[in-house]
Structures are given as C-alpha cells and as structure tokens.
Amino acid sequence: MPDTNRIGWRPIETSPRDRVIPVLLWMPFRIDNPAFGGARGAMFIGVWGDSCWVDISYSEPLGEPSHWMPLPELPKYTQKTGNPNQAIAAEVLEAASGRAGAPSDRRGVS
C-alpha cells in the first residue's frame, strides 16, 4: 500500500489500483500546443478501471498519467455550514474507501 501520509506528486507506478479510491492525476502533454497557454499538462481526478485510468467526471478513459497524489480529506459537516449534502458526500467517500460503514441518511438535518 502506498504511503498516503507523504505530500506531493508520486510516480504513477506507486498509485492505488483498486477501482475505489479516487486520486489526483497529472497528465503531461505530449505536444507543445500554444492553445493551452504554455501548460505542460493537466490534472484530473480519476480511478483505476479494468485496464486504464478513468476520469470520474465523465467516465472516460484517460491517457497515461505520469504522477498521482491522494486527494485531501473532505470538509466535515457542521451545523454552521448548513449543508447536509456535504455530510452525505463525505460519508459516501469514506464508505467507498473502506474507512467507515455505510452512509447514514442525514436529510432533514438543519
């Protein structure tokens, strides 16, 4: 298991490949394209699919990322934020990554 306590970009060979844990991926551009404003690459949030990385926003296969980084913890729900959906999203992510049980129903929490 990769060391998730270390901060910074890590080689893609050390990434989790369990189809559950989303990570931040760095995709270097293979061409110098002025349309991208001189950027050397792009970041995506993805998960490992059957045989490739998949962008979680579009469920589309990605190319070949060179590096990855764990995502930060989600903000915790508090009465002050007033957003119960934030709590549900945090619980779903925790359950998906195996850190907690099934998400509870917090609709109606004000």
pTM above 0.75, yes or no: no
Q: pLDDT tens digit string along 22-67?
A: 999 998 876 666 666 666 788 899 999 888 899 888 777 888 899 9
Q: Domain residue spans in the chain? A: 1-72, 73-110
Q: pLDDT tens digit string along 56-67?
A: 887 778 888 999
Q: How many CB atoms lie within 10 A of CB 15?
A: 20
Sign of CA dihedral 15, 16, 17, 22: negative
Sign of CA dihedral 16, 52, 29, 72: negative
